[in-house]
A and B are shown apart, each in its own frame.
Chain A
């Protein structure tokens, strides 16, 4: 867990450093010395420390990978089906792992559809998608009491437009913690 925090910290720190570098643009006169050279906070002299990569245990590696996967919380479906696609197995495993480790955590699984078909049919289809997702998590050991499902059918599209690109983004189940 500590390490994953470090990873997160780096994810934040790297863009900040990049931003800091950008701030030494020519119009930034305050940090420009008389002879025209630029000094910034990173331009310090002195010792530098470095660190080697720690060797992660398989469990730690798995946790790190799962933490990354859990940044994703949407899975997508094919037209008119509620079958969970194989490509989302790992993502769902990551969420299941978290829910099993945190029995007090609760998740709402929203089911959504594209705009094709009638709104009422799509409510039913959306529910089937939400339940298929819940069933999948249940089979990975997540307790039913941690999950509730709600179908929004075609009423809350993620992408607008009547084309396959928009439709494929709208056929989804969303995990909301």
Chain B
């Protein structure tokens, strides 16, 4: 399928349409997601296959993508199609809300696809609360400005869009975002991407910088190299990646535009040039440099290349990560003995230790809401992903996989993607912020590591 996707990538218009128009293509991806735990805590939901109001087959199975997205969120358990009591395309076609309520679903998604001219389609969908529909019979009356008017308050969401043939998958993710936000009150992260490093030592250029949709589809190679690539990190606008490349026999930090392929070298100091992290406003890059001896944390103004040293300690300081307000950094330091996470205020340069539990804590990332810290936690010689809450300090180990590292948090804070080892190979894995939902993204061949979840795109 790697082949097919490359084909899709390189082929123009017509071919692209033909392939993406394959009905319900159960296309395997290079990173196929295998859910390993957590379906039992998911909320039941009905995702009804969208009805096609045209000749022949529907050009795309939107419902399948939406159902897969919601299942992978760990929050929802879409019921299987053969359990559905009917196949309505819109609320007006729903005869018996009670039959849906009996399914135990809190919501049902129905939709219609109508062909327009020029390869465009009108996609309409509604998210329905069957329990409310059962009570009101599908039409309630409500007082609005003192007038009694008809109200369809059992319809939680309803939208119509015109979608071109090349945008089906993207639009399906958009629907998932709408459904997710309507039911959880939290923004969906289905229209996001992950960057990661793929390594296959059997190739002449073993090291690859990759970008794919969050679900592993639309994988693209951004850079191939005979020498190691490390630490991809997204610009806050989602257009660029910073990463470390050893292409010149030493580590250097590069910035690459993911759409134009333009790249520039940001740093090439003596010693370590590593662990780049973009500031939330996109103007600065935190990094690790060892040009003056020990690895310390620095912040560079990207436009002027002006460098400010943040930490100055003779032992290892590394893995800077910005707090969402951009006013401080967390970082890993050995200043207290074993590696622990510390926090430095950028204006006062005041440093305080954040983690205390276990033998060591590394790779700290503050969650998007600023209320927690995701770390690589070492206890009894094992490395697991853990979450520590602020300000309680409670630490909860989230994973049971082995040699976990490089956690990266989805922009809505719902999920963590990280690198782990499975059957002697490095693979990516997902775990929800509460640790209940776990999935693995095994790669066909080679090793996959250093995942970085994009911002909202």
Residues on A lying within 8 angstroms of B by beta carbon are 108, 115-121, 123-125, 127-128, 149-153, 155-156, 160-162
Of the candidate stretches B49-57, B343-351, B400-408, the one touching chain A is B400-408
B229 to chain A, nearest CB (A): 8
If A118-B363, A123-B288, A155-B246 are given as contacts, then 18 extra A-B residue pairs at C-beta distance below 8 Å, sorted by A number, are: A115-B421, A117-B339, A117-B405, A118-B362, A119-B405, A119-B449, A120-B230, A120-B275, A120-B288, A120-B362, A121-B319, A123-B230, A123-B274, A124-B295, A150-B250, A152-B228, A155-B228, A162-B424
B176 at interface (Cβ–Cβ under 8 A)?
no
Contact of B383 among A116, A155, A161 (CB under 8 A): A116
Residues on the A chain within 8 Å of B316, using CB: 121, 124-125, 128
Q: Is the CB of B272 within 8 A of A117?
A: no
Bound together, the chains give a CA A108 to CA B246 distance in angstroms of 14
Query: How many whole Å from B344's CB to the nearest CB in chain A?
Result: 16
Contact B231 A124 (CB under 8 A): no
- Closest residue of chain B to A108 (Cβ to Cβ) is B249
| B318 at the binding interface (Cβ < 8 Å) | yes
Q: Which 10 A-B pairs have the closest CB atoms?
A: A155-B228, A124-B316, A118-B363, A120-B275, A124-B295, A118-B405, A118-B362, A120-B319, A120-B318, A124-B318
Pair A120/B274 contact, Cβ less than 8 Å: yes
- Across the interface, do B274 and A150 meet the contact criterion of CB distance under 8 Å? no
Contact A120 B402 (CB under 8 A): no
Expressed in whole angstroms, the Cα–Cα distance for A161 and B251 within the complex equals 25
- Say yes or no: A121 contacts B318, CB within 8 Å: yes
| Smallest CB gap from A163: residue in B | B424
Whether B272 contacts A124 by the Cβ 8 Å rule is yes
* A107, chain B: closest CB distance, angstroms: 14
Q: Which of A125, A128, A150, A162 contacts B403 (CB 8 A)?
A: A162
Separation of A150 and B249 alpha carbons in the complex (Å) = 8
Using known A-B contacts A124-B288, A155-B246, determine if residue A117 contacts B295 with beta carbons closer than 8 Å.
no
Question: Cα distance A149–B271 when bound, in Å?
Answer: 7
Contact A155 B230 (CB under 8 A): yes
B residues near A116, Cβ cutoff 8 Å: 383, 403
A146 to B378, CA, bound (A): 38
Q: A155-B230, A162-B403 are in contact. Are A121 and B339 (CB under 8 A)?
A: yes
B332 within 8 Å of A by Cβ?
yes
Q: How many interface residues does chain B have, given as a range?
A: 20 to 34
Distance in Å: Cβ of B223 to nearest Cβ of chain A: 15
- B382 to chain A: closest residue by CB: A116
Q: How far, in angstroms, from A156 to B201 measured CA to CA in the complex?
A: 10
Of the residues B201, B231, B272, contact of A151 by C-beta under 8 Å: B272
- Whole-angstrom distance between the Cβ of A82 and the nearest chain B Cβ: 10
Tell me the number of A-to-B contacts counted with CB atoms below 8 Å: 82
B 235-264 to A, binary, CB cutoff 8 A, 1 in contact else 0: 000000000001001110000000000000
Residues of B within 8 A of A152 (CB): 228, 246
Taking the closest CB of chain A, its distance from the CB of B382, in whole angstroms, is 9
Q: Which residues of B contact A (CB under 8 A)?
A: 201, 228, 230-231, 246, 249-251, 271-272, 274-275, 288, 290, 295, 316, 318-319, 332, 339, 362-363, 376, 378, 383, 402-403, 405-406, 421, 424, 426, 449-450
Contact present for A123 and B251 (CB under 8 Å): yes
Chain A residues with CB under 8 A of B251: 123, 150-151
CA distance A125 to B272 in the complex (A): 11
Identity of the chain B residue whose Cβ is nearest the Cβ of A176 in the assembled complex: B249
| A49 CA / B414 CA spacing, docked (Å) | 83
Are A119 and B406 interface neighbours, CB within 8 A? yes
CA gap between A155 and B316 in the complex, in Å: 19
Contact status of A115 and B403, CB under 8 A, knowing A121-B362, A127-B272, A162-B421: yes
What are 26 A-to-B residue pairs whose CB atoms are below 8 Å?
A108-B249, A115-B421, A117-B339, A118-B319, A118-B332, A119-B405, A120-B230, A120-B275, A120-B288, A120-B332, A121-B318, A121-B332, A121-B339, A123-B272, A123-B318, A124-B272, A124-B288, A124-B316, A125-B316, A128-B316, A149-B271, A151-B251, A155-B246, A160-B424, A161-B424, A162-B403
Task: For the complex formed, measure the closest distance between the CB of A177 and the CB atoms of chain B, giving whole angstroms.
Answer: 14
B230 — which chain A residues lie within 8 A by C-beta? 119-120, 123, 153, 155
- How far does the alpha carbon of A108 sit from the alpha carbon of B250 in the complex, in Å? 11
Q: In the complex the two chains form, is B363's CB within 8 Å of A120's CB?
A: yes
Asked if A117 and B421 sit within 8 Å, CB to CB, the answer is no
B440 to chain A, nearest CB (A): 16
Chain A residues contacting B246 (CB-CB under 8 Å) are 150, 152, 155
Q: Count chain A CB atoms within 10 A of each CB in B231, B249, B318, B450 and give the residue with the most.
A: B318
**A residues within 8 A CB of B290?**
124, 127
Shortest CB distance B425–A (Å) = 9
Q: Which residues of B contact A162 (CB under 8 A)?
A: 402-403, 421, 424
Q: Are A119 and B450 in contact (CB under 8 A)?
A: yes
Q: Point out the residues of chain B lying under 8 angstroms from A124, CB to CB.
A: 272, 288, 290, 295, 316, 318
A162–B422 alpha-carbon span in the complex (Å): 9
Q: Which residues of A contact B274 (CB under 8 A)?
A: 120, 123
Q: Is the CB of A120 within 8 A of B231?
A: yes
CB contacts (< 8 Å) of B275 on chain A: these are 120, 123
List B contacts of A161 (CB < 8 A): 424
In the docked arrangement, what's the CA distance between A158 and B378, Å?
Answer: 25
A151 to B251, CA, bound (A): 8
Residues of A within 8 A of B319 (CB): 118, 120-121
Residue of chain A at shortest CB distance from B201: A160
Q: Which residues of B contact A160 (CB under 8 A)?
A: 201, 424
Cα distance, A160 to B449, chains bound together (Å): 15
A132 to chain B, nearest CB (A): 13
Complex CA distance for A59 and B320, rounded to whole angstroms: 52
User: Would you call B424 and A117 a contact (CB within 8 A)?
Assistant: no
